[in-house]
A and B are shown apart, each in its own frame.
Chain A
Amino acid sequence: MKRKLISLLRIIRSGGNNFIRNAWLSIAATAVMMVALTIILSAVVLNVTARNAVKELSKKIKVTVYLKDDVSEPRRTIIMSRLKAEQGVDDVAYVDRREAERRFKTNVSDGDKVFIEQALALTGNTTLPESLEVSLTDLSKSGAVVKVAKEDGYKDAVDDVSVGKNDVAKETIERATSAQKYIVRGSIFAAVLFAAVSVLIIFNTIRMAIFTRGEEIRIMKLIGATPNYIRGPFLVESCMYGIIAGILANVSVYTAILSLGPKLQNQAEFAQSYNFFTSTGMMFLLLFASVFLGIIVGIVSSLLAMHKHLKLKHW
């Protein structure tokens, strides 16, 4: 037991020496891995942020269900609960005539007022209709909501259905949604590229370390060192790359979040994401995940290098 512990400490020390001996290669390996991990981390952060922003903005998009005159209250309530039960619906609000009038007066420009009043006159109406405003959490569900409202069973009460088309929010959402797609695709590509480069560099670094210690390894075999005692230092070395790169990637991503975040925080669509990522638990989780990922990449590359260049099978 004591022997094993001493051996483990020696392996770790020897791994550290390897790291220092090939300092430039070690730094290069760590730096590239850090870039790869930073890309992956940023992709996760941007993706979650974009998704949250889309969700938040979707609430601003509303499907308006115009009601015929004189729909009874119980009938209206039934339609409201039916719409509420639909997936992706955040809330359903009833807008009566007075509220419609008030909005008309405050929100619509004078030029439009004349146009709308003329239009109303043409259709034989004197007042604005009552309506149900359906707010959504998921924009893609608006079609389904429209379909429900237009069902034959509601024909007695529903006059017309419209989706807010000229809303600025909708355009923003569409942009955010497509940006999110590009973020995911682009970052997968970049992360794979940099991960491959870091595997190559680590592979090469470990290969160099095996060569510089070639004579030592041959002697170790002859005087009875176990294969794990010989392999250990190289694994330790590559784990060090992973740990350092993981920590640095986290530091850089959080530096960005913490410096950009407060500027965006009072915008509702970013506030939630900012709070999500800056919670202590999440910070530790991401740190743990990136260090873990770094260690995995390091171990895989050094195992490949050892498999190829450290002939421990032939004693």
Chain B
Amino acid sequence: MILLDRVSKSYNKKGIALERISLHVEPKEFVIIVGTSGAGKSTLLKLLTREEKPTSGKIIVGGIDYERLKDKDIPYLRRKIGVVFQDFKLLPGKTVFENVAFALEIVGLSNKEIRHTVPKVLDLVGLKGKADNYPGELSGGERQRVAIARAVVRQPKILIADEPTGNLDPKHAWDVIRVLEKINHYGTTVLLTTHNQEIVNKLKRRVITITDGHIVSDKSGGSYK
């Protein structure tokens, strides 16, 4: 599903954010990426969503070779990858329903299709009753689940979550993680970065540790070292 072959990335001449990263992720895998702040986790994920281009190396996602990707193909690539961020990135002026519907509007789905699809996804993330609320009226955990709903409403093959629990207290963090597990259970490949040791240890999934732009360990059923 995801293949990185000796991928390096430097933002400027001074330092290297990622150095010769090689990585293979199978379809339907749940992969946790850990590492201290500044290790290069977000950079790795941004390479996958094409927010950044690698300085060197090969990236192939879902059969698409990023070297051959043109600028005009990027929106279509992003439609196949769901993304969730630490700061939610919801639109405060839109309701929960509208925030999720937004992802369907931009790809030209009809209002009828949208009315049919959005409630199902809100149900999946456990926000059935909150459709008409505004993000400001929700807890952090609920907001992040809205963001997840928006990311998966188009049923992407891959879901990328960059520290989705970073701003949340443990209870809400676990709500979010449970939703991610559920989505993974239905067949979506999940890439999750986190600082949270407890979550890593309890999930017992594949854990990749990055330090200073290098992969220092990659263990299945692993724990935070």
DSSP majority for the A interface? helix
Does A222 contact B108, Cβ atoms closer than 8 Å? no
A189 within 8 Å of B by Cβ? no
A2 within 8 Å of B by Cβ? yes
Q: Which of B72, B79, B107 contacts A3 (CB 8 A)?
A: B107
B50 within 8 Å of A by Cβ? yes
Q: How far is the CB of B64 from chain A (nearest CB, A)?
A: 14
Does A223 contact B50, Cβ atoms closer than 8 Å? no
Q: What residues of chain B lie closer than 8 Å to A4, measured between beta carbons?
A: 108
Contact with A along B85-115 (1 / 0, CB 8 A): 0000101000000000011011111100000
Does A222 contact B89, Cβ atoms closer than 8 Å? yes
- Which 3 interchain pairs have the tightest Cβ spacing? A3-B108, A224-B78, A224-B79
Q: Which residue of chain A is the closest to B91 with respect to CB atoms? A: A216
Question: Cα distance A221–B102 when bound, in Å?
Answer: 12
B49 within 8 Å of A by Cβ? yes
On A, residues with C-beta under 8 Å from B are 2-4, 6-7, 10, 215-216, 218-227, 229, 313, 315
Question: Cα distance A315–B46 when bound, in Å?
Answer: 11
On B, residues with C-beta under 8 Å from A are 49-51, 71-72, 74-79, 83, 89, 91, 102-103, 105-110, 150-151
Q: What residues of chain B lie closer than 8 Å to A223, measured between beta carbons?
A: 78-79, 83, 102-103, 106, 150-151
Does A224 contact B76, Cβ atoms closer than 8 Å? yes
Question: Cα distance A2–B108 when bound, in Å?
Answer: 8
Does A6 contact B110, Cβ atoms closer than 8 Å? yes
Q: What residues of chain A lie closer than 8 Å to B105, measured between beta carbons?
A: 10
Contacts A224-B79, A225-B75 given; does A219 touch B108 at CB 8 Å: no
Q: How far is the CB of A177 from chain B (nearest CB, A)?
A: 57
Question: Cα distance A227–B74 when bound, in Å?
Answer: 10
- Provide a sorted-by-A list of 29 A–B residue pairs whose CB atoms are within 8 angstroms: A2-B108, A2-B110, A3-B107, A4-B108, A6-B108, A6-B109, A6-B110, A10-B105, A215-B89, A215-B91, A218-B89, A219-B102, A221-B75, A222-B49, A222-B78, A222-B89, A223-B79, A223-B102, A223-B103, A223-B151, A224-B77, A224-B107, A225-B75, A225-B106, A229-B106, A313-B71, A315-B51, A315-B71, A315-B74
